[in-house]
Structure 1
Amino acid sequence: MSILINVAELQTCLASATPPVLLDVRWALGDPHGREHYLTGHIPSAVFVDLDTELAGHGQPEDGRHPLPSAEDFAATVRRWGINSGDTVVVYDDAGAAAAARAWWLLGYAGFKDVYLLDGGLAAWRAAGLPLAAGEERAEPGDAVVHFGAKATIDADQAAAWSGILLDARAGERFRGEVEPIDPRAGHIPGAVSAPTSENLAADATFLPAVELRARFVGLGVEPGSEVAVYCGSGVTAAHQIAALEIAGFRAALYPGSFSAWSNQPERPVATGPSERGASGGSGGNGDRVEQ
């Protein structure tokens, strides 16, 4: 079953007797005004989701910028969104699903089965000439139950010892250590493969077709049966990579702490420079320059 839904399909679902719960995750790195954007205009019936407070917990720097929330906190959150057991949920944003994918992944991790990403997000809705609503949508509290663990995760020790494919979803210049705008050290986890999430999308911010995504990941060394894990800066865009992998027919584990956690642990080595795994299909890491 696809994890994507397009605008026409969403329209049909919203007009049905059992419409989905619609979530608006208006968030982008460096833009703290997500709620204001939502209040100005959103898809009718969509409930605003605050990524920093509802899709993440709070911990020490070594836990990363967006550690997973507790199961108890997330259960209260999804009920506040109006989700009941058995509901279908559709998630969107205005950033090529980079933020929405975090909600998609976290709901899947919590055991929800019918969760979809609106392909193309708010831009696709606008492009179809469909109306927007302003102000706040209030949902009746739901009764959904959360059971964490339905999707695979790894921690820092597992990332350090990972023998499969470890994909880094950040921009290439951050992977190579040329720039680092937010984390304390520049570079990547040794042995990782650079796989920027921007390359999962077409020019209109929709996901590439499954056959193209599959070719992309095969070129990075992913094969049927491969053990794949993904990280990014703080565990947000890595969920986008996992969504793209699932569209392509592959499964992957998430390292929730990602590089923001790794780089705040001084004992963890950091590598700079390009990786060679994707081009060669070999064991990887040959381009790394590793520093403690």
Structure 2
Amino acid sequence: MDTLVSVSWLAEHLHDKNIVVADCRFVLGNPDKGREEYEADHIPGAVYFDLEKDLSAPKAEHGGRHPWPDADTFADKLGRAGIDNDTLVVLYDDQKGAMAARAYWVLRYVGHRNAALLDGGYEAWKEAGHSITKEIPERLPATYIPHVQKDWLCGVEDIRRNLGLGEDGAVLIDSRACNRYTGEAETIDPIGGHIPGAVNYDWQAIVDEKGFLKSETALRQRFAELPRDREIIVYCGSGVTACANLFVLERLGYKNAKLYAGSWSDWISYPENEKAKGAR
């Protein structure tokens, strides 16, 4: 099964028994907005995954703005949504795939292999003229057994160890906009800049202006300089948009890419951690 599906494919298979569609819309700074939009209209049969309530753990002193969710807690939520280990989960949002990609990576973390993003998201679905509804589905509960893939994540200690390894260490990718990476215009976190040694690959460059994933050729060119024989650790502000880059790296065949789950907002929660500014 491809990890990216078109709106025409989903329209054809929307009522297949083994498919659950998940709406992942969420607006940073307005945490109720996504659910309100879901309740107003959504793809028929879609359940709702909230970034902060379903795809994150409660905030603490460390762990970033969107701490990584507990696997058993998330598995319980999957079961209540009627999702078992064999269900195909199709994820969408209206933020060019960023929130849906976070859900995708959490699913990967609990061992789910049968998940896909809707190319173009909710806007593409509506522009194609497919049906929408405000009806909230009632799904029969299922049992989800997590098989946690711990190697898909990194923590602050992993990053600290890596900083002293030079060319023998992992490649650090910062997925935020360039002006946040350089520290020129931090719009969310209290401190600007990046982790020393990180290179900037703004996640928004993987999609076109309408939110469709760019061609494989364009994406291979985008990441052409990334080595396949070194570990790659991807981060962003809080471990959300980094997942969009990780989604693409997986599609391009990279087997060595991980997420720094707490990302920049976790890194700066430790005053002793070094912060860099500027283009490198």
TM range (shorter): over 0.9
How far is the alpha carbon of 1:157 from its aligned partner?
2.0
Q: Give the structure 2 partner of residue 146 of structure 1.
A: 146
- Asked if the contact 1:2/1:247 (under 8 Å) is kept, the reply is no
Matched, 1:244 2:248: yes
Listed as ranges, the gaps of 5+ residues in structure 2 are: 163-168
Counterpart of 2:239 in structure 1: which amino acid?
A: G
* Alpha-carbon shift at residue 214 of structure 1 (Å): 1.3
Aligned positions of 1:130-145 closer than 5 A: 130-145=130-145
Provide the secondary structure at the position in 1 that maps to 2:53. Answer: helix
1:265 counterpart letter in structure 2: Y
Q: Does 1:257 align with 2:265?
A: no
Query: CA separation of 1:164/1:151 partners in 2, compared to 1, >3 Å: closer, same or farther?
Result: closer
- Alignment equivalent of 1:199, drawn from 205, 214, 220: 205
Question: Where does 1:26-41 land on structure 2 (aligned, <5 Å)?
Answer: 26-32=25-31, 33-41=33-41
Partner of 2:217: 211
CA distance in 2, matches of 1:6, 1:47: 19
Q: Does 1:117 align with 2:117?
A: yes
- Rounded to whole Å, the distance in 2 between the matches of 1:237 and 1:167 is 12
Question: Which residue in the other structure is 1:177 paired with?
Answer: 183
Runs (5+) with no aligned partner, structure 1: 276-292
Does the CA-based 8 Å contact 1:94-1:121 persist in structure 2? yes
Distance 1:3 1:159 in 2: 29
Mapped partners of 2:48, 2:99: distance in 1: 12
- The answer for the alignment partner of 1:268 in structure 2 is 273
Give the whole-Å Cα distance in 2 for the aligned partners of 1:160 and 1:168: 15
Q: Give the corresponding residue for 1:283.
A: none
Q: How much has 1:19 moved relative to structure 2?
A: 4.1
Counterpart CA distance in 2 for 1:44 and 1:164 is 43
Paired position in structure 1 for 2:227: 223
Aligned match of 1:20: 19
> What TM-score, normalized to structure 1?
0.89
Distance 2:232 2:200 in 1: 13
Residue type of the alignment partner of 1:90: V
- Partners of 1:49 and 1:207 in 2: how far apart? 22
- What is the distance in 1 between the residues matched to 2:42 and 2:58? 28
Letter of the structure 2 residue corresponding to residue 111 of structure 1: G
Secondary structure at the aligned position of 1:271 is classed as coil
- Paired residues for 1:6-17 under 5 Å: 6-16=6-16
| Structure-1 residue corresponding to 2:93 | 93
3-state SS of paired residue (1:167): strand
Shift of 1:151: 5.4
Residue aligned with 1:272, SS: coil
User: Structure 2: which amino acid aligns with 1:209?
Assistant: S
Alpha-carbon separation, structure 2, partners of 1:62 and 1:224: 31
Task: Say if 2:38 is the partner of 1:51.
Answer: no
Q: Secondary structure at the match of 2:21?
A: strand
State percent identity of aligned pairs: 39
Output the CA distance in 2 between the equivalents of 1:100 and 1:203. Answer: 17
SS at 2:154's partner residue?
coil
Over the aligned positions, Cα root-mean-square deviation in angstroms equals 1.5
Residue 123 of structure 1 aligns with an amino acid whose one-letter code is E
Q: CA separation in 2, counterparts of 1:102 and 1:43?
A: 19
What is the distance in 1 between the residues matched to 2:212 and 2:250?
Answer: 15
Cα-to-partner distance string for 1:116-136 (whole Å, 9 max, x where unaligned): 001111011011111111142
Any idea what SS the aligned residue of 2:52 has? helix
Deviation at 1:31, TM superposition (A): 3.2
Q: 1-side partners of 2:25 and 2:151: how far apart? A: 24
Give the aligned length: 272
Larger mean Cα displacement after TM superposition, 41-50 or 241-250: 241-250
Q: For residue 66 of structure 1, what is the aligned residue in structure 2?
A: 66
Q: 1:173 to 1:225 in 2, by over 3 A?
A: same
* Separation in 2, partners of 1:139, 1:191: 47
Query: Offset at 1:81?
Result: 1.3
String of CA shifts for 1:224-269, please: whole Å, max 9, x gaps: 3232110001101111110011222223100001000001110101
Give the alignment's TM-score, normalised by structure 2. 0.93
The 3-state SS of whatever aligns with 2:152 is coil
Residue in structure 2 matched with residue 280 of structure 1 by the alignment: none
